[in-house]
């Protein structure tokens, strides 16, 4: 195993030499100073080797197939990284005079416009830092718009039971009440159950389309219509936008507000957990409520900061995760309209190809396998003849075959779920090899289930004791005298 | 297309397996009248072409590598050792996601555990989470955590008027549906003593910044008094800090803070026009189960070997849904990694040296500016790297002169957020500012008072 960073420390070592002051010294105020600064002391070579060795204990898109459903782990173009590091972008202070940052503001303005065009909205704010942050913004926008209509008493947000956990969590943070709507047997939202909840207390509906079951909601236009009739708004969770670029536009379907995930659909890297970027697009009626400031263009053609008239306020310091804007802008410019449609077509083609192969081989039930899926499919780790084997075992065994496992046990409404999202950047050979691995694992499950129960066998560590981690949490190790 | 590898033959074979002859058949569920819209986007570019376009946009900007920068106010121009970019540019780190499968994510997990450890060491707290979006949302999450920590609900939140104005705005945005009373910052001169007096049994949390937004350092004794007063009312104390300042000064853990937040950009992250940045979030052990965000914990594997996992996830949205401590999912992992590498390579001595350089250079600048007729340095307390200068002319005019005539990015104009200070700017001096730059600034400021400036309205 790799040593803990402090174990590499030896008194007197230095990782960086800083220059001596080039100004006269000013005495330090003794009563303000800390006794000790318990940071490590390590030379630069050892720091680099430590982190390189740690990196080698990671799986990543740059190493192989990463079909983590709902996360859109597509390949991240390297030109994106180079562009984001241009000094004219990376070395800009966010509070500089707008006259000195017109290029950056133009990039933001054009990205706002392009995202609005792709999803069919009147306006976009780039400020939210991640999908959940965009969701919180979106729910607050719906709430504020209801207040502006004199409907401030409304408090219900309807959320299908297949939704990401962030939907109900964002609702609660907004001070509103979550009402769960069941899914029907066909994978669509249960329309009658939805209608039964539509009253004068409804702020809006949050819907993920394509849904987390990987299905396009067949009644989406009808759903938007009935919610609007009840005085509610429809929030679209844009997590699955990768399936529908150039295929359809959420705004055209009746969605009022939607967040984009630049780190999913628009290829900005996931960074081992972040940063992401979660811009919000809205219909004309909601444009005044967007978080801001956003970029506008004045009569002279200059780019200026503007705060929407009835903004919910700012959701973040400064203007959003600009470095992600540069990457997403680069990606969209390289694709154009046809390229983005090709992205979505191939993402959906790849998922359906995996679904078709899995159906042919018959090892893994696919609850909605009678329908074409969108960019992802949900199978089940219920292998006939291997009843003691669970989805977790299958996932861990996939690691031994060199793949990142799919998302598991989500959506919650599908028992033993394996949520597989291949993305468009994978070759047919990779998809074939992945399905072959699943087939081989199903065979192993029947003949040698222990192999699965004890998997992975080739990873840097064996299965980890998560119960112990939670029962007696050790969240930090600081040298004695550190506090 | 370079990023979609299928050949026509691949596509035909795959469609045959699926049982279709045209990809369009897969989209039959999309209402026909809304299917295949024509998107009005610019024509696609090759890598060569897109690089030219982006370089042209970048060239339109004036960046801090070209000119001297004395602008701070929550985003700082600090030195970033080359090691940091080397590490965060590794595909193994930046093209992974949240470590849901710990066996193949030990690199990210251990790096995050080490980040949490070094942040705990730096702030003097027991633990830290794996990051929030930025310094502003970290404060908002601190407020929400404090609300959750009280057995009987408390609906009052006290914000210091010298907490970053944008952070206060974000707290108000986040909590607008919660029916809270957010007070304390109505009067710009409400000091920590007066703030403590406003704290009562209804108060969930008191949030202050140290050094505060105007650069002033509050002594450990003053902070301890505040903490005692706040705790006497059963409320929590949250402190937003400048992590570089902790290279020198007493950490909040030593003076009784319950939650410590910070904008962590200064730790190895580029200015990047405001993001992605890093929300540092540290707390006392008693609060751990109320904490928001990802937490990495140490454990053992099936062979008894040390390893790391995401832990206490029953707090989080993917398990607890509407009852989660926060909705956060994606965080700022790579920025946290940059901060960890920065802290590891700077280490005990390097970070102190950076903080000392800021101190000495900022004080040299303040001393010289105070000698210019017409300028007044407003710093009743010690300050770290930022200080307020009252100016003889509107700050916007001065800044325009500095930029046009001297190639200097001046300070933050305080006239909107703190009008009671008059024509005042917040200047920031870091280790990146040379003595020549500071002397240039002094000359330029002196010259401004003598020159006939073109009125601002003509310039704009």
Residue-wise pLDDT tens digits, A233-274: 999 999 999 999 999 999 999 999 999 999 999 999 999 999
| CB of B371 less than 8 A from some CB of A | no
> pLDDT value at position A479?
80
**A197: alpha, beta or left, given left = phi > 0 and alpha = psi -120 to 50?**
alpha
* Tokens standing for residue B215: 């650069």
CB contact under 8 A, B311 and A475: yes
Which residues, numbered 382 to 441 in chain B, qualify as contacts with chain A under a Cβ-Cβ cut-off of 8 Å? 382, 399-400, 403, 409, 412, 431, 434-435, 438
Q: Distance (Å, rounded) from C-alpha B7 to C-alpha B207? A: 59
Average pLDDT over residues A48-64: 98
> pLDDT value at position B452?
59
Which residues, numbered 356 to 385 in chain A, qualify as contacts with chain B under a Cβ-Cβ cut-off of 8 Å? 356-357, 360, 371-372
Tally the residues of chain B.
Answer: 460
DSSP states of B389-430? EE-SS-HHHHHHHIIIII-EE--EETTTT-GGG-SEEEEE--
| CB of A111 less than 8 A from some CB of B | no
Q: What percent of chain A has pLDDT over 90?
A: 99
Kindly report, residue by residue over B394-426, the tens digit of the pLDDT: 999 999 999 999 999 999 999 999 999 999 999
Shortest Cα distance, chain A CAs vs residue B187, angstroms: 21
Helix (H, G, I), strand (E, B) or coil at B207: strand
What are the phi and psi torsion angles at B432 (to 5°)? -75, -20
| CB of A98 less than 8 A from some CB of B | no
Q: Average model confidence (pLDDT) for chain B?
A: 96
Split at pLDDT 50, 70, 90, the class of B460 is very low
Q: At which residue do the structure tokens 């800390």 appear?
A: A34
Query: What's the sign of the alpha-carbon dihedral B406, B409, B410, B416?
Result: positive
CB contact under 8 A, B120 and A9: no
Residues 6+ apart with CB under 8 A from B286: none
Q: Please, where are the H alpha helices in B242-391?
A: 317-320, 333-370
Q: Domains plus CATH for chain A?
A: 5-18+25-49 (no CATH), 79-334 (3.40.640.10), 341-468 (3.90.1150.10)
The candidate with the shortest Cα–Cα distance to B244, out of B160, B342, B111, is B342
The minimal CB distance from A172 to the residues B11, B99, B322 is found for B322
Residues 6+ apart with CB under 8 A from B12: none
Residue A145 exposure: Cα atoms within 13 Å on the Cβ side: 27
Kindly report, residue by residue over B332-358, the tens digit of the pLDDT: 999 999 999 999 999 999 999 999 999
Q: Distance (Å, rounded) from C-alpha A209 to C-alpha A163? A: 10
If you ran DSSP here, which 8-state letter would residue B100 be given? S
The minimal CB distance from B322 to the residues A34, A178, A469 is found for A178
Which residues, numbered 132 to 151 in chain B, qualify as contacts with chain A under a Cβ-Cβ cut-off of 8 Å? 133-137, 144
* Tokens standing for residue A271: 């960074």
CA B178 to chain CA centroid, Å, is 24
Query: Where are the domains positioned within chain B?
Result: 8-59, 68-77+348-459, 82-343
Q: Distance (Å, rounded) from C-alpha A407 to C-alpha B7? A: 28
Q: Distance (Å, rounded) from C-alpha B428 to C-alpha B436? A: 15
> pLDDT value at position B455?
52
How far is the first Cα of chain A from the last one, in angstroms, to the nearest whole number? 28
Split at pLDDT 50, 70, 90, the class of A482 is very low
Q: What percent of chain B has pLDDT over 70?
A: 98
| CB of A259 less than 8 A from some CB of B | no
Kindly report, residue by residue over A331-350, the tens digit of the pLDDT: 999 999 999 999 999 999 99
- Chain A residues within an 8 Å CB radius of B94: 60, 76, 81, 269-272
- CATH classification for the domain delimited by B68-77+348-459, as one of 3.40.50.261, 3.40.50.2020, 3.90.1150.10, 3.40.50.720: 3.90.1150.10
Task: Evaluate if residue A49 carries a pLDDT over 90.
Answer: yes
Q: In three state form, how does the secondary structure of chain A look?
A: CCCCHHHHCCCCCCCCCCCCCCCCCCCCCHHHECCCCCCCCCCHHHHHHHHHHHHCCECCCCCCCCCECCCCCCCCCHHHHHHHCCHHHHCCCCCCCHHHCHHHHHHHHHHHHHHHHHHCCCEEECCCCCHHHHHHHHHHHHHHHHHHCCCCCCCEEEEECCCCCHHHHHHHHCCCEEEEECECCCCCECHHHHHHHCCCCEEEEEEECCCCCCCCCCCHHHHHHHHHHCCCEEEEEHHHHHHCCCCCCHHHHCCCEEECCCCCCCCCCCCCCCCCCCCEEECHHHHHHCCCCEEEECCCCCEEEECCCCCCCCCCCCCCCHHHHHHHHHHHHHHHHHHHHHHHHHHHHHHHHHHHHHHHHCCCCCCCCCCCCCCCEEEECCCCCCCCCCHHHHHHHHHHCCCCCCEECCCCCCCCEEEECCCCCCCHHHHHHHHHHHHHHHHHHHHCHHHHHCCCCCCCCCCECHHHHHHCCCCCCCCCCCC
> pLDDT value at position B318?
87
Residues 6+ apart with CB under 8 A from B189: B161, B420
Task: Evaluate if residue A402 carries a pLDDT over 90.
Answer: yes
Task: Evaluate if residue B268 carries a pLDDT over 60.
Answer: yes
- Chain A residues within an 8 Å CB radius of B354: 18
CB contacts < 8 A, A to B, total: 708
Helix (H) or strand (E) holding B378: strand B376-378
> pLDDT value at position A22?
98
The minimal CB distance from A343 to the residues B4, B51, B136 is found for B4
Q: Distance (Å, rounded) from C-alpha A24 to C-alpha B264? A: 29
Q: Are A371 and A377 in contact (CB under 8 A)?
A: no
Average pLDDT over residues B440-451: 91
Shortest Cα distance, chain A CAs vs residue B198, angstroms: 26
Q: Distance (Å, rounded) from C-alpha A69 to C-alpha A234? A: 24
CB contact under 8 A, A91 and B45: no
Tell me which chain A residue has its CA closest to the CA of residue B400. A97
Q: What is the CA radius of gyration of chain A?
A: 25
Q: Distance (Å, rounded) from C-alpha A401 to C-alpha B280? A: 37
- Chain A residues within an 8 Å CB radius of B273: 89, 92-94, 101, 104, 318-319, 322-323
- Chain B residues within an 8 Å CB radius of A406: none
| CB of B102 less than 8 A from some CB of A | yes
CB contact under 8 A, A31 and B219: yes
Average pLDDT over residues A115-120: 98
Task: Evaluate if residue B72 carries a pLDDT over 60.
Answer: yes
The minimal CB distance from B317 to the residues A85, A165, A407 is found for A165
CATH architecture type of domain B82-343: 3-Layer(aba) Sandwich (3.40)
Tell me which chain A residue has its CA closest to the CA of residue B97. A272
Kindly report, residue by residue over A22-43, the tens digit of the pLDDT: 999 999 999 999 999 999 999 9
> pLDDT value at position B323?
87
Helix (H, G, I), strand (E, B) or coil at B331: coil
Helix (H, G, I), strand (E, B) or coil at B71: coil
Residues 6+ apart with CB under 8 A from B365: B70, B427, B429, B433, B438, B441, B442
Q: Are B350 and B389 in contact (CB under 8 A)?
A: no
Average pLDDT over residues B199-211: 98
Query: What's the sign of the alpha-carbon dihedral A276, A279, A280, A283?
Result: negative
Torsion of CA A447, A452, A453, A454, to 10 degrees: 120
* Tokens standing for residue A326: 């540069």
The candidate with the shortest Cα–Cα distance to A139, out of B177, B166, B147, is B177
Which residues, numbered 211 to 230 in chain A, qualify as contacts with chain B under a Cβ-Cβ cut-off of 8 Å? 215-218, 220-221
Task: Give the ipTM.
Answer: 0.98
Q: Are B237 and B228 in contact (CB under 8 A)?
A: no
Split at pLDDT 50, 70, 90, the class of B453 is low
CB contact under 8 A, A89 and B58: yes
Interface-testing mutation among B142, B275, B429, with chain A (most A C-beta atoms within 10 A): B275
Helix (H, G, I), strand (E, B) or coil at B281: strand
The candidate with the shortest Cα–Cα distance to A332, out of A68, A31, A119, A40, is A119
Alpha carbon separation from B231 to B139, B141, B224, B234, B238 (Å, rounded): 19, 20, 10, 5, 11
Residues 6+ apart with CB under 8 A from A416: A380, A381, A382, A390, A391, A409
Average pLDDT over residues B75-92: 98
**Geometric angle at alpha carbon B46, from B44 and A75, rounded to 5°:** 90
CA B149 to chain CA centroid, Å, is 24
How far is the first Cα of chain B from the last one, in angstroms, to the nearest whole number? 45
| CB of B304 less than 8 A from some CB of A | no
What are the phi and psi torsion angles at A80 (to 5°)? -55, -45
Query: What's the sign of the alpha-carbon dihedral B319, B321, B322, B324?
Result: positive
CA A216 to chain CA centroid, Å, is 19
| CB of A93 less than 8 A from some CB of B | yes
Q: Distance (Å, rounded) from C-alpha A146 to C-alpha A140? A: 10
The candidate with the shortest Cα–Cα distance to B132, out of B320, B327, B298, is B327
The candidate with the shortest Cα–Cα distance to A322, out of A174, A111, A157, is A111
Alpha carbon separation from A247 to A22, A119, A194, B33, B38 (Å, rounded): 61, 10, 26, 11, 9
Helix (H, G, I), strand (E, B) or coil at B236: strand
* Tokens standing for residue A65: 């197939």
| CB of B258 less than 8 A from some CB of A | no
**Geometric angle at alpha carbon A363, from A360 and A368, rounded to 5°:** 70
The candidate with the shortest Cα–Cα distance to A457, out of A444, A470, A471, A475, is A444
Average pLDDT over residues B444-451: 87
């Amino acid at each position: 195993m790799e040593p803990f960073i402090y174990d590499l420390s030896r008194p007197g070592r230095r990782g960086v030499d800083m220059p001596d002051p080039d100004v006269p010294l000013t005495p330090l105020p003794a009563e303000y100073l800390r006794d000790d600064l318990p940071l490590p002391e390590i030379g630069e070579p050892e720091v680099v080797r430590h982190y390189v060795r740690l990196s080698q204990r990671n799986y990543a898109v740059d190493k192989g197939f990463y079909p983590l459903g709902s996360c859109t782990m597509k390949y991240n173009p390297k030109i994106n990284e180079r562009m984001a590091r241009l000094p004219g972008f990376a070395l800009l202070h966010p509070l500089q005079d707008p006259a000195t940052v017109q290029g950056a503001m133009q990039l933001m303005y054009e990205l706002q416009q392009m995202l609005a065009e792709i999803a069919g909205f009147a306006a976009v704010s780039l400020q939210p830092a991640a999908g959940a942050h965009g969701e919180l913004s979106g729910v607050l926008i719906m709430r504020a718009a209801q207040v502006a209509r004199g409907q401030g008493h409304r408090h219900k947000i309807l959320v299908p039971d297949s939704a990401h956990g962030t939907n109900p969590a964002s609702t609660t943070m907004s001070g509103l009440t979550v009402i769960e709507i069941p899914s029907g047997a066909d994978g669509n939202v249960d329309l009658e159950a939805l209608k039964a909840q539509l009253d004068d207390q409804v702020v809006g509906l949050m819907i993920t389309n394509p849904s987390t079951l990987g299905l396009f909601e067949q009644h989406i236009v009808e759903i938007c219509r009935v919610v609007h009739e009840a005085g509610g708004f429809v929030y679209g969770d844009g997590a699955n936008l990768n399936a529908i670029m150039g295929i359809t536009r959420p705004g055209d379907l009746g969605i009022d507000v939607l967040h984009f995930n630049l780190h999913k659909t628009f290829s900005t890297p996931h960074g081992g957990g972040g940063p992401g970027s979660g811009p919000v697009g809205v219909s004309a009626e909601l444009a005044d409520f967007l978080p801001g400031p956003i970029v506008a263009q004045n009569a002279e053609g200059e780019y200026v900061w503007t705060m929407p008239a009835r903004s919910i306020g700012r959701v973040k310091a400064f203007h959003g995760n600009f470095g992600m804007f540069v990457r997403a802008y680069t990606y969209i410019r390289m694709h154009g309209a046809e390229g983005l449609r090709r992205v979505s077509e191939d993402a959906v083609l790849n998922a359906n190809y995996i679904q078709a192969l899995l159906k042919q081989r018959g090892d893994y039930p696919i609850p909605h396998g009678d329908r074409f899926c969108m960019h992802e499919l949900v199978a089940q780790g219920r292998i006939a003849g291997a009843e003691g084997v669970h989805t977790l075992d299958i996932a861990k065994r996939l690691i031994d075959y060199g793949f990142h496992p799919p998302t598991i046990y989500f959506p919650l409404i599908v028992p033993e779920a394996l949520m597989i999202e291949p993305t468009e950047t994978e070759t047919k050979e990779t998809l074939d090899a992945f399905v072959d691995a699943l087939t081989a694992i199903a065979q192993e499950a029947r003949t040698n289930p222990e192999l699965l129960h004890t998997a992975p066998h080739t990873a840097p560590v064996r299965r980890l004791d998560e119960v112990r981690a939670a029962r007696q949490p050790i969240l930090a190790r600081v040298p004695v005298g550190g506090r | 297309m370079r990023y979609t590898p299928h050949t026509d033959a691949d596509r035909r074979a795959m469609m045959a397996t699926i049982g279709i002859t045209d990809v369009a058949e897969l989209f039959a569920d999309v209402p026909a009248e809304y299917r295949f819209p024509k998107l009005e986007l610019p024509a696609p570019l090759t890598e060569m072409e897109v690089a030219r376009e982006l370089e042209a946009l970048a060239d339109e900007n004036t960046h801090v590598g070209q000119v001297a920068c004395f602008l701070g106010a929550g985003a700082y121009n600090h030195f970033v050792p080359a090691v940091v970019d080397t590490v965060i540019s590794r595909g193994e780190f930046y093209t992974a996601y949240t470590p849901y499968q710990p066996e193949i994510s030990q690199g990210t997990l251990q790096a995050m555990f080490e980040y949490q450890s070094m942040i705990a060491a730096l702030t003097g707290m027991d633990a830290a989470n794996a990051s929030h979006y930025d310094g502003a949302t970290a404060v908002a999450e601190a407020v929400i955590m404090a609300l959750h920590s009280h057995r009987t609900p408390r609906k009052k939140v006290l914000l210091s008027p010298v907490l970053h104005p944008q952070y206060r705005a974000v707290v108000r945005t986040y909590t607008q549906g919660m029916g809270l009373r957010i007070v304390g910052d109505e009067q710009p001169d409400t000091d920590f003593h007066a703030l403590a007096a406003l704290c009562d049994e209804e108060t969930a949390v008191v949030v202050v910044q140290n050094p505060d937004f105007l650069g002033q350092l509050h002594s450990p004794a003053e902070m301890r008094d505040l903490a005692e007063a706040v705790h006497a009312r059963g409320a929590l104390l949250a402190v937003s800090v400048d992590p570089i300042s902790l290279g020198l000064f007493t950490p909040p853990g030593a003076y009784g803070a319950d939650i410590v937040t910070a904008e962590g950009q200064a730790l190895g992250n580029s200015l990047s026009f405001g993001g992605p940045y890093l929300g540092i979030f540290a707390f006392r052990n008693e609060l751990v189960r109320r904490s928001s965000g990802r937490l990495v914990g140490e454990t053992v594997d099936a062979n008894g070997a040390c390893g790391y996992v995401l832990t206490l996830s029953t707090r989080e949205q993917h398990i607890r849904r509407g009852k989660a401590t926060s909705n956060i999912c994606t965080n700022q992992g790579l920025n946290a990694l940059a901060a960890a590498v920065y802290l590891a390579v700077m280490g005990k001595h390097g970070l102190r040296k950076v903080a000392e350089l800021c101190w000495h250079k900022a004080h040299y600048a303040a001393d010289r500016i105070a000698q210019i007729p017409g300028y007044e340095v407003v710093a009743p307390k010690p300050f770290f790297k930022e200080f307020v200068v009252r100016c003889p002319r509107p700050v916007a005019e001065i800044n325009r002169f500095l930029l046009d005539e001297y190639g200097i990015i001046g300070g933050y104009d305080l006239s909107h957020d703190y009008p009671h200070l008059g024509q005042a700017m917040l200047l920031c001096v870091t280790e990146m500012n040379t003595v020549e730059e500071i002397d240039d600034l002094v000359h330029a400021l002196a010259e401004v008072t003598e020159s006939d400036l073109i009125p601002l309205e003509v310039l704009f």
